[in-house]
Amino acid sequence: MRSRPRVVVAGMGDTGLLVAIRLARYADVVGISTKPGMVSGQELGLRLARPREWERDYRIPFERYRRLDGVRIVHGAVTGVDTDARTVRVTAADGADHDEAYDVLVVATGVTNGFWRQPLVEGPSEVDESLAADHARIAAADSVLVIGGGAAAVSSAWNIATAWPGKQVDLCFPGERALLAHHPRVWEVLSTRLRGLGVGVHPGHRALLEEGFTGNRITSGTVTWSTGQPARSADAVLWAVGRVTPNTAWLPAELLDAGGFVVVDEYLRVPGARGIYAIGDLAATDPLRSSARARADGLLAHNIRADLGRGRPRRFRPLRRRWGSVLGAQENRLEVFGPTGRAVAIPAWSLLQPWIVRRGIYRGIRPGS
């Protein structure tokens, strides 16, 4: 092995980016990304309602990250792997293929989820068009029906209602409450706030979906329910139904579980595949697949270095509940719900965000235009 190992990070989204930053000082890192920069899958509500504000914090070109200065970024999609030769196949936007050799491979290609997390190879103009079209579709609608009970759905209903107070916004979800992965107290608080905004909150509504429909577009018209309620119509129907598909078709089937998620051990290694690790929403760590939200990027970087002879590996400990921000920054204030459901408000977020996120988490981001 060369004096500095070559680490290929397949997927440079929220989690893969952080792993690359953590390893850049210790290895020759190659990051493979379908996007021209970090385009986060977080904070869907802000993305739809206030896209310019969302872009400031969640869409950042790779060249602005100081710790990526020594990282080679490859724009394309990972389409195959040869675990014996230790190479990955990359397909660029023009269809050209090439191989990237690795000593260590980090699988962080994420999941496909709705219309906002798609594994398409896109350039800056295509990302611009997608963001603008989604915002315009919601802005033009007099009524919006949000379907789903996760954080993306709740955040969308809240942010759309606050951005456009005159819209009729309804939130429909199949259970007795939304945010099932959070502490029950979180939904108690947020459901009261949603109703106070005039959002219609409708538990016990399970949408009747056409076979194969994944919610990969904003639709309009009538939605029917398998749970028996009268049909509802809206100018814009936002699907956040949690039909997640891991972006792992390029991996051998023996590395995946029955759902297509990557099997990992307690150190985030992929059993039976020397030098391969997985992290994020596609890693089958626990029922919540919490390695991304548990900030396991630091642990994974430590374990990779340990396996290369620099220390002892540490075990990943999954989260029991999801926690964090649900609504995103509101009126220069970020509210974070902890594992017990108690909220902590961080005031003056626009002043603190550069220190907490840009310097603390990302180790420095250059100013943008």
Confidence of residue 220 (pLDDT cuts 50, 70, 90): very high
Angle at 291 between CA 287 and CA 297, to 5 degrees: 175
H or E element in which residue 347 lies: strand 343-347
pLDDT computed for residue 149 by the predictor: 96
3-state secondary structure of 64: helix
74: CB partners within 8 A, 6+ apart: 30, 31, 32, 33, 90, 100
pLDDT digits (tens, 9 = 90+) for 49-82: 999 999 999 999 999 999 999 999 999 999 999 9
CB-based contacts of 224-233 (< 8 A; 24+ apart in sequence): 225/172, 227/174, 229/202, 229/204, 229/205, 232/145, 232/170, 232/172, 233/143, 233/145
pLDDT tens string 312-326: 999 999 988 999 999
Same CATH fold assignment for domains 6-123+244-320 and 140-239: yes
Asked if residue 115 lies in contact with residue 134, where contact means CB atoms within 8 angstroms, the answer is: yes
Would you say domain 6-123+244-320 falls under CATH 3.20.20.70?
no
Please state, in angstroms and rounded to a whole number, the distance separating the CA atoms of residues 2 and 5: 6
For 161-182, what is the mean pLDDT? 96
Question: 140-239 falls under which CATH superfamily?
Answer: FAD/NAD(P)-binding domain (3.50.50.60)
Least confident of 136-145, 240-249, 264-273: 240-249
Predicted pLDDT of residue 2: 52
SS3 of 113, please? Answer: strand
Domain boundaries, the chain: 6-123+244-320, 140-239
